[in-house]
Amino acid sequence: MTRILSNEYNLLTARVFLGVLLVVISIDKIADPASFARSIGDYRILTGTPAMILATVLPWMELLCGLALASGILIRGSSLLVGSLLVVFTLAVVSALLRDLDISCGCFTQDPSADRIGWLKIGENVALLALAAWLFFSENHRFSLDEYIRSRPPGS
């Protein structure tokens, strides 16, 4: 198990998968922050200006983390930030489910008819959280910009 978890190719695959996923899901939200703010408002936790501010900043966090993970730079910070966001998203979904809200997740698309919240969504988030935690605790990121920069001889 340890060998699988520390295998550099497995780590590369996980990193690129999570990175590309984050970039893809951020694009819709960046293009239409008002729709994303409405999705946030649907959770009845934040509304109005706070929801709009979150809708302005959050997609860019996803985009930057995605690019950083895919290219292998600031891996530790990106995976920590993604993990923290996933914890918050999961708590929001749990809270909405407990309040019987039948709403769209707003995670992958801003179309309210798609991507409804449910216990499956929590499973998805937990799987992604595990992926982020794995990347955070791993040392062996051989195919990464971080590693390339570190391995260059000084002065070159």
Partner 1 sequence: MMRWRTGFREAVIMALCASVLGFVYTGITRKGVFAAEFSQGPAASRPGEQSSIIHVDEAKELYESGRALFIDARHPFEFALGHIRDAVNIPLGEFEKRQGQIDSLPRDKVLVTYCDGVQCNSSIGLAVRLREAGFQSVRIFFAGWNEWQARGLPVTKTGK
Does 63 bind partner 1 (CB under 8 A)? Our answer is yes
DSSP assignment of 7-26 equals -HHHHHHHHHHHHHHHHHHH
Does 80 bind partner 1 (CB under 8 A)? Our answer is yes
Pick from 15, 19, 22, 33: which binds partner 1 (CB under 8 A)?
A: 33
Pick from 127, 137, 148, 149: which binds partner 1 (CB under 8 A)?
A: 137
Residues 112, 39: Cα–Cα separation, whole Å: 8
Nearer to partner 1 (CB atom), residue 79 or residue 90: 79
Question: 116 forms bridges with which residues in the sheet?
Answer: 104
Name which of 84, 90, 99 is nearest 124 in CA terms.
90
Q: Find where tokens 């929590």 sit.
A: 122
Which chain residues interact with partner 1 by CB under 8 A? 30, 32-35, 37-38, 41-42, 44, 47-49, 51-53, 55-61, 63-65, 68, 74, 76-81, 84, 102, 111-113, 136-137
